[in-house]
Amino acid sequence: MGTAQEITASILEQLPWQEELYKHFHRHPELGLKEHETSARICEELEDLGYEAHLIGGTGIVGVLRNGEGPVVLARADMDALPVTEDTGLEYSSTVPGVMHACGHDMHMATLLGAAKFLAENQESWSGTYLALFQPAEETAAGAKAMVDDGLVDRLPKPAVALAQHVMPAEAGMIGTTAGPILSAGDCLRITVHGRGAHGSMPHNSVDPVVLASSIVLKLQTIVSRETQPGRFAVLTVGALNAGATANIIPDRAQLLLNIRTYEPAIRQHVIDSIQRIVRGECQAAGSPKEPEFEFYDQFPLTSNDEAANARITEAFEAHFADGQVYQADPATASEDFSTIPDAFGIPYAYWTVGCVEKQKYQDAVAKGTVSADIPANHSPFFAPVIHPTLETGTRTQVVAALAYLGRGAQD
């Protein structure tokens, strides 16, 4: 089985099973590194399909299916939900207060399990080893690292390539690929600046950290606008400024939370160096009694597709899907930790996007120029991928990408 018609027919037959799985995952979301019930269900499904299921990195799972000689292919889905209260009104809405699959990881799990089922039931069409990897805690950049730290590389055969996909708020059925950066690197930074506290009526006795922090916020805006070459990408956001607790007390410190997004390591380093230079300079100018403190957390690596791997899966997608269904995607400013896994193995990877918004709804929003207002994006409490054709499209992309390496014709 290898023609587009045969693959599609086989996947359509298993859709009722996959839809039930998707709705189950959506109803029962779990936060990062707490995906215990999700992990157990995935292990059960993989073992029923004939896979060896290995727990790695706490709640992470890798299903291994060996089918003779040939390359090893790793395909990854993330599992964790978000601390978001769902407001979609779906009949299969989250049953967990304050937790929701608001980023499509439930769809990722269902499509990867669908690909795992297809490959298990059509072993005559391929040879080699398929690794279906389900990763915890993508949202906090902790899950891929946890799996690597738990011996992922030593416990599995080395893959020839790693594959991953993500649903995005684009027209359902559309598939975006690109060589090079497809997701930005992301860094969160906590900065504490110190002042000297005083009574609110006696500001002359203080070094006011609120004024200091406010000056820093304004000066940081010049890093992108005046220090980054026009046309080169960088985003610097100050997401929080916390200081004090009451109106008549000048506090002794302030804390800023920053988020940095970049596509190029050199620009990333320049932004970080500039932040530290500006903060230290403003602290010195204000007469701060202590040096500022810098703490990095939730750091996401750059996701940059290998040119050859991207070309190979793009060619396979274009041969399988209808004309115009596969397009060159613009890099997104979102970030994630998938690349930690192939980087640990030292292998190339390909990462692509799958649209998940009902076609007419998306096209109407495009025509009106209201996509950002009318189409809920990932992490929104209204984010709700349309099940069809997103489920079958995402399953077909996983199958077609895997067969681009494992298919008997691909190895001739």
SS3 state at 390:
helix
- Residue 207 is which amino acid? V
Burial-class residue 126 by CB neighbours within 10 Å (0-12, 13-18, 19+): buried
The dihedral over CA atoms of 389, 355, 14, 318, expressed in degrees to the nearest 10, equals 100
pLDDT of 411: 73
Query: Which residue is it, tokens 């403190």?
Result: 293
Residue 408 is predicted with a pLDDT of: 85
pLDDT averaged per 10 residues, the chain (length 412): 86 97 98 98 98 98 98 98 98 98 98 98 97 98 98 98 98 98 98 98 98 98 97 97 98 98 97 98 98 97 98 98 97 97 98 98 97 97 98 98 93 66
CB 86 within 8 A of CB 120: no
Does residue 75 contact residue 349 with C-beta atoms inside 8 Å?
no
Phi, psi of 311 (to 5 degrees): -65, -40
Is the whole model's pTM more than 0.85, yes or no?
yes
Q: What angle do CA 385, 376, 187 make, to 5 degrees?
A: 100
Phi and psi, residue 181, nearest 5°:
-60, 130
